[in-house]
Amino acid sequence: MSELPVLYSFRRCPYAMRARLAIAASGQQCELREVVLRDKPAALLQASPKGTVPVLVLPDGAVLEQSLDIMHWALARNDPQHWLDADPAQARAMQALVAECDGAFKQALDRTKYPQRYPSEDPTPHRQRAEDWLVGLEQRLATGGFLFGPRPAGPTWPSCPSCGSTRASTPNAGRPCPGRICSAGWPSGRLRPCSPR
Ligand SMILES: N[C@@H](CCC(=O)N[C@@H](CS)C(=O)NCC(=O)O)C(=O)O
């Protein structure tokens, strides 16, 4: 058994990204095991048979197999940037936004990015739904600087990898990416508009 927690991750997975972001922000040390999704290691499947990443295996053998659980594990240990600071009403609003991101937005995003997986569905309305949701985020950013006020807290981090993923899905020249939000500002904690491409 490793002395450090072991994080099974995939570089481009937005769920793994947010887990890694929280772990980095909290300063927790982990052993990072990058996996190939089409050839998952036996140790990952043994720890978490559902076969998604991220998965965090703690030194005592406990397994966290949801990205939000991993984020909360890390930030509960150390939250120097106060990502989790919120009054109860704000915390509920943040959770609702993350649920939208992981639910309706993700469904629309998948149907936009991978139309071949949904041959009986027209991707156009799904793309519109995804864009509408991103425009809502932009309106929040325009008023507060971040999604919930003047500093990066709560859902800024869980949702920004998915927003970046939307941008990555629209490389067609001449068309603005949906919602124009991109991930260019992560290191400084800001989401900011990206230029059309
Ligand atoms: N609800 C999970 C979702 C994780 C998830 O769906 N990860 C994708 C990669 S982005 C995955 O591992 N899919 C399995 C596969 O493609 O085989 C979480 O928040 O951790």
CA of 115 to the centre of ligand 1 (A): 18
CATH for the stretch 6-77:
3.40.30.10
Distance of alpha carbon 55 from alpha carbon 117, whole angstroms? 25
pLDDT tens-digit map of 32-45: 999 999 999 999 99
State the closest ligand 1 atom to the C-alpha of 40, by its place in the atom list counted from 1.
17
Strands 181-182 and 6-9: unpaired
At 55-81, the pLDDT tens digits run: 999 999 999 999 999 999 999 999 998
**CA 10 – CA 35 distance, rounded (Å):** 6
Residue nearest to atom 2 of ligand 1 (CA): 66
Calculate how far, in angstroms, residue 65's C-alpha sits from the geometric centre of ligand 1.
Answer: 9
Residues 6+ apart with CB under 8 A from 71: 18, 19, 21, 22, 157, 158
Residue 32: strand pairing partners: 7
What's the pLDDT at 1? Answer: 53
In the chain, what are the domain boundaries? 6-77, 88-193
24 lines ligand 1 (CB under 6 A): no
For the CA of 14, the nearest atom of ligand 1: 10
SS3 readout for the chain: CCCCCEEEECCCCHHHHHHHHHHHHHCCCCEEEECCHHHCCHHHHHHCCCCCCCEEECCCCCEECCHHHHHHHHHHHCCCCCCCCCCHHHHHHHHHHHHHHHHHHHHHHHHHHCHHHCCCCCHHHHHHHHHHHHHHHHHHHHHHCECCECCCCCCHHHHHHHHHHHHHCCCCCCCCCHHHEECCCHHHCCCEECCCC
Averaged pLDDT, 128-145 = 84
pTM over 0.75: yes
CA-nearest residue for atom 14, ligand 1, is 52
Fold of 88-193: Glutathione S-transferase Yfyf (Class Pi); Chain A, domain 2 (1.20.1050)
Residue 15 Cα to ligand 1 midpoint, Å, equals: 7
Amino acid at 92: R
C-alpha 190 – ligand 1 centre gap (Å):
25
Percent of the chain exceeding pLDDT 70 equals 76
